[in-house]
Amino acid sequence: MSESGSDPGRSPSGLRAARPAVPPPLRDDRLKLFAFTTAEKRAEYLWVLRAFDHARANYVVLLHAGDVARILNGLAGDDPAGQLGAGDITPLLEQLHVWEVLERSYDGTRAATLAEYRNRHFVYQFSQAGYQVFRAVEDALAARLDDASLSRLALPDLLADMNDLAAANRAADNDLVYRKLNRLDATLSDMAGRAAQFYLTLGDLVRTTEITPETFMSHKDALLTHMREFSSDLSRYAPKLAAAIALVEDTGVETMVTRAAASDERVFLGIEEREADWRARWAGLTHWFVGSEAGLSESERLREGTMSAIAAVLSLLRRVTETRKGGVSRESQLRHLAGWFAAAPTEDAAHALFQAVFDLGRPRHLSMVHPDADIIPDTRSWWEAQPVEISRTLAETGRPPSPGLPARVQRNEGSVRRLREEQLTAQRLRAAAAQSLARGGVYERELDEAETDVLLSLLNAALTARVPVSGRVNSSTGSENGVKLTLSPHSESTVVRTARGRLHLDGLQVSVR
């Protein structure tokens, strides 16, 4: 909310999540309904639509160009954009029909002669989407952007409606369940919208404080009181509303949704679509006051945003007070700077003052050889030649790019230490197995898994050394971890029992020491 501090506008973004929904797809046929707001004759189009809205309020739906002119004669007053005749209104009506803001139908009853019948009189009325677009534009034009408040009085209404909803669902009153759910949804949406508008308005007030500090000083007491009361009421009612939501859920959420959908009068929606809509609304309502394990509830976020806003307003009040006391503000600084520029004796002095204040460097001129010199000669101007790609380093510093220093090697010390410990542990176990093998020998017992691994590695080393060329091979040895294995010729085959089975050595005897 403050110029450099926390922003309470963060909460309204969460407020919008009260009813989770997938954004609607982009439809150009709907966007063209707003074309009249940017047209050259947008004021005339708006007055024509206001005439239709005026007639609609008097239960008149279909209008002819002459009817529109007659209504505007008494509606537009002194506004020249509303002083239109029937001949001027007809092309406007046709264009609004092209944009689908108005619907057109033929009215043969207006023809008094055969010629008029052949000229085809048309009458117009609002299309459903066109009327919504017109109301949105009128609401935006009539909205008071400085009229913002936090709706703390809605909290007791929410609590009372929640208790009534639990009683209605327990009593199986479908109509009352629908009315209470609809009222809860409307009240919560209004409170969320008010909070979002309040914090946006507060942010605008803060950003314009340096220009008009009197505006802030005149509203500071009421502003701080308003935010403190809202934060206090929100802290007091949030646990009660969470308990009331639990009470409603005890009566059966699916049963409540089914009853609300049964009394819902939106006939163009199927029963399943209505149930899905009310289920999503209830989920959004519970998300507002019941926090999940992953984060805070929306009411808790709003309370934190309000407290941050109070702290930021107090900080801003201190800065404004100090500024007013010292007599130096951004406005006075700019006025003094403008006076210095006006009093500069020469243009060079004004340029030097500008450079010192705004610290803007001079343009940097670059020179480089184009890679295709045959097509673009050196004598051609840069204004006439094709653009040349240059590096960011050359553009920003004027120096050609270089490879630079090698990047720092990223070492994962934790992984290295863990792997080293595992390696040392394996070595200690292997050394212990080798010593056990030397003490107990290999015959007349069964070797375990570790001793078997050591024996096989020693046998591999010893057998690798036995490379006979011709004749009988003498004894061979293999050593590991201070243990030496010797293979000696034997008149019979020997058998070593291991954890992996029996190892038969044909004509060989093993000794380990």
Asked if residues 472 and 491 have their Cβ atoms less than 8 Å apart, the reply is no
Provide the residue type at 349 as one letter: A
Of 122, 142, 162, at which residue does a domain stop? 142
- What is the structure's pLDDT at 436? 83
How far apart (Å, rounded) are the C-alpha atoms in residues 362 and 335? 26
Which of 156, 76, 157, 89 lies closest to 124 in space, CA to CA? 89
How far apart (Å, rounded) are the C-alpha atoms in residues 88 and 66? 10
Of 117, 142, 167, at which residue does a domain stop? 142
- Percent of residues in the chain assigned helix, strand, coil, to nearest 5: 60, 10, 30
Q: Which residues pair with 483 in a beta bridge?
A: 480
* DSSP letter (8 states) at residue 63: B
Residue 235 within any structural domain of the chain: yes
- What is the structure's pLDDT at 13? 36
Asked if residues 223 and 312 have their Cβ atoms less than 8 Å apart, the reply is no
Is the domain of 226 the same as that of 259? Answer: yes
Sequential pLDDT tens for the chain (513 residues): 333 344 444 433 333 334 444 556 666 667 888 888 888 888 888 889 988 988 888 888 888 888 888 888 888 777 777 778 878 888 898 889 888 889 888 776 655 555 555 555 788 889 888 898 888 888 877 765 455 566 667 788 888 888 888 888 888 888 898 888 888 888 888 887 777 777 776 666 666 544 455 656 666 667 777 777 777 878 888 888 888 888 888 888 888 988 888 888 887 888 888 888 888 888 888 887 776 656 677 777 777 777 777 777 777 677 666 665 555 566 677 888 888 888 889 998 888 888 888 776 666 666 666 666 556 666 777 777 777 777 777 777 777 777 767 777 777 888 888 888 888 888 888 888 888 888 888 888 888 888 888 888 888 877 776 655 444 445 666 666 677 777 788 778 888 888 888 888 877 888 887
In this structure, what are the phi and psi dihedrals at residue 382, rounded to the nearest 5 degrees? -65, -30
Say if pTM beats, i.e. exceeds, 0.75.
no
In this structure, what are the phi and psi dihedrals at residue 50, rounded to the nearest 5 degrees? -65, -35
Residue 504 within any structural domain of the chain: yes
Distance of CA 289 to the CA centre of its chain: 21
- What is the structure's pLDDT at 513? 78
Q: What CA–CA distances, in Å, run from 277 to 82, 167, 254, 404?
A: 43, 22, 12, 59
- What is the structure's pLDDT at 329? 60
Give 58-98 pLDDT, tens digit per residue.
888 888 888 888 888 888 777 777 778 878 888 898 889 88
Q: How many CA atoms lie within 13 A of 443 on its CB side?
A: 10
In this structure, what are the phi and psi dihedrals at residue 389, rounded to the nearest 5 degrees? -75, 130
Is the domain of 170 the same as that of 204? Answer: yes
Q: Classify strands 102-106 and 483-489 as parallel, antiparallel or unpaired.
A: unpaired
Residue 193 within any structural domain of the chain: yes
Residue 355 within any structural domain of the chain: no
Is the domain of 155 the same as that of 298? Answer: yes
Crossing angle for the helix pair 298-326 and 213-250, to the nearest 10 degrees:
170
Residue 99 belongs to domain with CATH number: 1.10.10.10
Domain interval for residue 312: 10-20+145-320
Is the domain of 153 the same as that of 43? Answer: no
Is the domain of 207 the same as that of 138? Answer: no
Residues 6 or more apart whose Cβ sits within 8 Å of residue 9: 1, 199, 200, 203
Is the domain of 132 the same as that of 156? Answer: no
Q: Which residue has the tokens 């689908």?
A: 100
Q: Which residue has the tokens 């017109």?
A: 134
Q: Tell me how many domains the chain contains.
A: 3
Residue 134 within any structural domain of the chain: yes
- What is the structure's pLDDT at 323? 61
In this structure, what are the phi and psi dihedrals at residue 52, rounded to the nearest 5 degrees? -65, -40
Residue 406 within any structural domain of the chain: no
Residue 417 within any structural domain of the chain: no
Crossing angle for the helix pair 174-207 and 271-289, to the nearest 10 degrees:
50
Work out the number of other CB atoms within 10 angstroms of the CB of residue 491: 6
Distance of CA 8 to the CA centre of its chain: 16
Burial degree of 51 (CB within 10 A; 0-12, 13-18, 19+): buried
Is the domain of 189 the same as that of 270? Answer: yes
- For the chain, how big is the Rg over CA atoms in Å? 43
Measured torsion, CA atoms of residues 269, 270, 274, 277, in degrees rounded to the nearest 10:
-80
How far apart (Å, rounded) are the C-alpha atoms in residues 377 and 392? 24
Q: Which residues pair with 385 in a beta bridge?
A: none
Is the domain of 274 the same as that of 157? Answer: yes
Q: Which residues pair with 485 in a beta bridge?
A: 478, 512
Is the domain of 70 the same as that of 188? Answer: no
Is the domain of 151 the same as that of 276? Answer: yes
Give 474-496 pLDDT, tens digit per residue.
566 666 667 777 778 877 888 88
Is the domain of 15 the same as that of 84? Answer: no
Is the domain of 171 the same as that of 134? Answer: no
Angle, vertex CA 349, rays to CA 345 and CA 350, nearest 5? 95
Work out the number of other CB atoms within 10 angstroms of the CB of residue 200: 15
How far apart (Å, rounded) are the C-alpha atoms in residues 332 and 353? 18
Q: Classify strands 483-489 and 446-447 as parallel, antiparallel or unpaired.
A: unpaired
Residue 305 within any structural domain of the chain: yes
* DSSP letter (8 states) at residue 364: P
Residues 6 or more apart whose Cβ sits within 8 Å of residue 368: 388, 390, 394
Work out the number of other CB atoms within 10 angstroms of the CB of residue 316: 20
- What is the structure's pLDDT at 322? 63
Of 142, 168, 200, at which residue does a domain stop? 142
How far apart (Å, rounded) are the C-alpha atoms in residues 70 and 349? 67
